[in-house]
Structure 1
Amino acid sequence: MKEDLHLWGNELNYFTTYFNIAYCVMLIPSQIIITYVRPSLWLPSLEVVWGVITGLFAITKNAKQVYILRVFLGLCESTAYPGMITLFMSWYTPLEMAKRIGFYHSCQAIGQIISGAMQAAIVKSLEGRHGLSGWRWLFVVNAIITVLQGAAGYFMIPDYPNNPNPRAVWFKRVHAELAMHRLDREGRVDIKPITWTAAKYLYTPPVLRTFTNWLVYVITVMYIAMVVGTLGYNYFNLFLKALTNSDGTRRWSTEEVNLIPIGGSVITVVFVWIWAFLSDILKTRWALIVTQAGIAVIVGIILTIWTTNPTGTPVSSAYAGYFLSTLSLGTAPLIWTWLSDFAPQEPEERSLTVGVAIAGYYAVSAWSQVLVWPAKQAPYYKHGWQSSIGLCSFVIMVAVTLRVIELKVIRPKRNNAIEGAEEGGNRTIKDEEDLKELSKADVECV
């Protein structure tokens, strides 16, 4: 692709920049729209459009055409991850949420595993077929898979417990009743359409309530710092591609450059699950966030030493650093679960906070990647790993401070809110027969 489209400068960085800008612009509107339009309609529709746009990459001739497609790709993708996180927060209790979000989050790495193997296979087997390069075939195949999966979403996404998807024939009424009953026990309430004027709990508009709450900014800053601070692993393939033998030939072939990072993706999947399960079992978020940030600091130190003195430092340390960096890619599910712990009775605030945090990350990433991780410097980045050390150290301080505030301020207020909800009794099970049915379903779900 680089050779066919004549990408000799920082075009690869600009591909990310244009995508991030569009993603950032559309994200919060999408989070608001999803409270009006059924997720089972909104999410699959954008996924199908995303697939069609992906297929158009196969006919691009230059970088400018890619820039345009990347903008529309960002607009369509902006609601996917935060929209699903909002759904998870509407269905699960604190003791099980990290595992669910963690499993979903790990699917990104699973996708990288599949795509890495698929890239190698397609480049090898379809190169030149019908006059198309292997990388163009990759977009064609990706588009077909995406459109089919997106169409399935119309029937598979269950929507919210209080308003389930009527097209989901696999979904039973008792599942929704059970979910609402379980959420009542945790003092949680249903999500409502987000407006500037519609009053909600305590008669305060949710948008104003969210943006006047200091918590949204703390969560946003911590999330941005951690994600930006661990971006280095995304450039593992550029590191592999830049390595040469003593005679100047490339050390790794294109196929090997696609296959080697699969090992890192496997480690990511395993440890995202480990962090998520430990979070629910130990009932803690902050300690595991601090642990992962600490690992990222160590990785930053290792790779800073290698990039500043590559001839005097074994290249094996760089390999170790890149693979170790995958251990710290599981903080997002813990941050979202921690947010849900903070605001169990504020679903609209949770949804907006997720949107603000992710939009903030893409806004920062749109300009920072070009400056911190310029493709021209790969793999000897002047400031990349140093910035990682600083950002992840900052995350440790924020997480510890937020934990202290949680114990001293947030937890007492939350407990009082839950007690009030229990006394008010938001919902009741209709009769003894429903209660038996719910109990049976609860056992089946376990």
Structure 2
Amino acid sequence: MWPFSRNDATGVPAVRSVTGKSLVQRLDMFLLTFGCISQVIKYLDQTNIQNAYVSGMKEELQLFGLELNYFTTYFNIGYCIMLIPSQIILTHVRPSYWLPGLEITWGVLTGLLAIVTSANQVYAIRVFLGLCESSAWPGMMTLLMHWYTPMELAKRMGFFHSCQALGGLFSGALQASVSTTLRGAYGMSGWRWLFIVNGVMTVVVGAIGLVMLPDYPNDPNPRAVWFTKQHAELSLERLARHGRGKPSPVTWAGVKRTLRSWITVIIPFLYCCTVIGNYGVQYFELFLKSRPNADGSQRWTTAEVNAIPMGGRAIQIAFVWIWAIISDCMQIRWQLIVAQCTLALVPTLMMSIWSALPSQMSDTTAYAGFFLNFIVLGTAPLLFSWLADIIPQDPEVRALVVGVAIAADYAVQAWSNSLMWPATEAPYYRVGWKVSAVLMLLAATMVFVLHVADAKYFRYV
């Protein structure tokens, strides 16, 4: 830990040698860049199972039931088990050890998917992938809250969050390339090469995290040679200036404060509604794979099934940035969340009608519904920026609430995906889109109620 110099009158570090602008530039260059690259890799590793499924894995492993849904279920089980413990461990162990170490581990596991011969082997590996990957997204979100001010936070969270879409976009492009260039190499199918390439990339990215992550403002990473004592002092000054509490290990007292807080119920509830309510967009590839020509042949090739959703991911990336920039520039959070949830009703209702009346509705409605849904996939940065505004002085509760929110989402998804989006019903889901519309309407209503109630009755103490 750096021996910080203090201003005797204020107790705040006195800093003159570096500027806030240079500090933010370095944080963006190293902390945010690593987070974004890691997020691309994480999302690629998390979703490449869908790309592999529609690119030959289904036929080669004889996956003609609900195996694809179970791949997600087993991953979610592992994710839920480790998520909250990981958030606690992250406050006791250096993030520059914990996050890269887990990333290297899941990179090795991803590579092992290239040699599976049955669904049961995939299930086992997916559980351990969930255990390791559970730390990446919430851990980085928590770190960003410690380093950036309210005028900077939503934009960085938005940029980081948009890398999920970038990972999905990259996954489609990578699988399309692998399926055509490496198919048959050394006697292996193209989908198996996807897992090998992903695994190698993941291990490399995990290794560079050892020096790119700065850890915490009051306990910097000694291996981060790009981060000086003056940068650390200025970081503490910025925390104090904006009323943010210093990072601290989660204690039993912090756990009790979290359990007593209304935020621990409301924020996870809203997060679950917005994520699960927009989850149908993940099945765009299955929709494309199911579309026939007039003669009954498949309309889109394997490469096209992987490539077409890239347009939707590009829309998602652009709008995540737009929502986040507006939020920071205008310092509004809840209003934009309500706007997103309200807009999400349009594609979910369109898809509900299309699924219920397939013979009377054109496929154009479905294409429009999927692409419109990509516009509103940027709620998480706004929601967690709002969380940081509500409880700026309690980093323990913030870290735990983020963990509870994401664990709750994966816990619900572990059983709801098979009910809402069974692979055997693709692409006409009986209840999936209808439930999504209800969840988005409920979320919009709850955000508005939370805003009014927070101002009058439930201000966090």
Please, what TM-score do these two structures have when normalized by structure 2? 0.87
Q: Distance in 1 between matches of 2:100 and 2:413?
A: 26
Deviation at 1:368, TM superposition (A): 0.1
Q: Distance in 2 between matches of 1:278 and 1:243?
A: 38
CA contact (8 A) 1:292 1:328 kept: yes
Residue 234 (str. 1) matches residue 289 (str. 2): no
Q: 1:97 aligns with which of 128, 153, 159?
A: 153
Q: 1:86 aligns with which of 124, 131, 142?
A: 142
Residue 390 (str. 1) matches residue 438 (str. 2): yes
- Deviation digits for residues 117-145 of structure 1 (CA, Å, limit 9, x no counterpart): 11101100000000100000010001111
Q: Distance in 2 between matches of 1:268 and 1:171?
A: 33
Residue 109 (str. 1) matches residue 143 (str. 2): no
1:292 aligns with 340
Structure 1 unaligned blocks of 5 or more: 197-204, 415-446
Residue 359 (str. 1) matches residue 407 (str. 2): yes
Q: Distance in 1 between matches of 2:224 and 2:170?
A: 28
Q: Distance in 2 between matches of 1:42 and 1:178?
A: 25
2:75 aligns with 19
2:297 aligns with 249
- Deviation digits for residues 270-327 of structure 1 (CA, Å, limit 9, x no counterpart): 0000000011111111111111111111111111111111121111111000000001
1:273 aligns with 321
Residue 65 (str. 1) matches residue 121 (str. 2): yes
CA contact (8 A) 1:27 1:359 kept: yes
Q: Distance in 1 between matches of 2:456 and 2:80?
A: 34
Q: Distance in 1 between matches of 2:218 and 2:173?
A: 41
- Which piece of structure 1 moves more, 119-128 or 87-96? 87-96
1:139 aligns with 195
Q: How does 1:7-406 map to 2 (within 5 A)?
A: 7-196=63-252, 205-406=253-454
Q: Distance in 1 between matches of 2:268 and 2:322?
A: 24
Which amino acid in structure 2 is aligned with residue 393 of structure 1?
A: L
SS of the residue 1:3 aligns to: helix
Deviation at 1:189, TM superposition (A): 1.3
Deviation at 1:406, TM superposition (A): 3.0
CA contact (8 A) 1:24 1:362 kept: yes
Deviation at 1:405, TM superposition (A): 2.2
Q: Distance in 2 between matches of 1:99 and 1:406?
A: 24
Deviation at 1:180, TM superposition (A): 1.1
SS of the residue 1:111 aligns to: helix
- Deviation digits for residues 310-355 of structure 1 (CA, Å, limit 9, x no counterpart): 1211111110000000011000000000000110000000000000
CA contact (8 A) 1:223 1:357 kept: yes
CA contact (8 A) 1:51 1:147 kept: yes
Q: Distance in 1 between matches of 2:265 and 2:234?
A: 34
Q: Distance in 1 between matches of 2:457 and 2:332?
A: 17
Q: Distance in 2 between matches of 1:225 and 1:280?
A: 23
Which amino acid in structure 1 is aligned with residue 375 of structure 2?
A: L
Q: Distance in 2 between matches of 1:317 and 1:27?
A: 38
Q: Distance in 2 between matches of 1:14 and 1:187?
A: 45
Q: Distance in 1 between matches of 2:151 and 2:264?
A: 22
SS of the residue 1:2 aligns to: helix
Which amino acid in structure 1 is aligned with residue 372 of structure 2?
A: L
Deviation at 1:410, TM superposition (A): 5.6
Deviation at 1:26, TM superposition (A): 0.4
- Deviation digits for residues 90-114 of structure 1 (CA, Å, limit 9, x no counterpart): 1111121100111100011111111
Q: Distance in 2 between matches of 1:188 and 1:409?
A: 23
Q: Distance in 1 between matches of 2:240 and 2:284?
A: 46
Deviation at 1:195, TM superposition (A): 2.5
Deviation at 1:241, TM superposition (A): 0.4
Q: Distance in 1 between matches of 2:457 and 2:213?
A: 37
Q: What is the RMSD of the two structures over their aligned residues, measured on CA atoms? A: 1.0
Which amino acid in structure 2 is aligned with residue 121 of structure 1?
A: S
Deviation at 1:160, TM superposition (A): 0.6
Structure 1 runs, 4 residues or longer, greater than 3 Å off: none
Which amino acid in structure 2 is aligned with residue 236 of structure 1?
A: F
Identity %: 56
CA contact (8 A) 1:229 1:389 kept: yes
Deviation at 1:407, TM superposition (A): 2.6
1:202 aligns with none
CA contact (8 A) 1:342 1:410 kept: no
Which amino acid in structure 2 is aligned with residue 333 of structure 1?
A: P
Deviation at 1:5, TM superposition (A): 1.1
CA contact (8 A) 1:222 1:399 kept: yes
CA contact (8 A) 1:46 1:77 kept: yes
SS of the residue 2:344 aligns to: helix
CA contact (8 A) 1:26 1:75 kept: yes
Q: Distance in 1 between matches of 2:339 and 2:290?
A: 31
Please, what TM-score do these two structures have when normalized by structure 1? 0.90
- Deviation digits for residues 150-178 of structure 1 (CA, Å, limit 9, x no counterpart): 00000101101111111111112222211
CA contact (8 A) 1:232 1:385 kept: yes
Which amino acid in structure 2 is aligned with residue 339 of structure 1?
A: L
Q: Distance in 2 between matches of 1:402 and 1:174?
A: 40
Deviation at 1:409, TM superposition (A): 4.3
Q: Distance in 1 between matches of 2:325 and 2:234?
A: 23
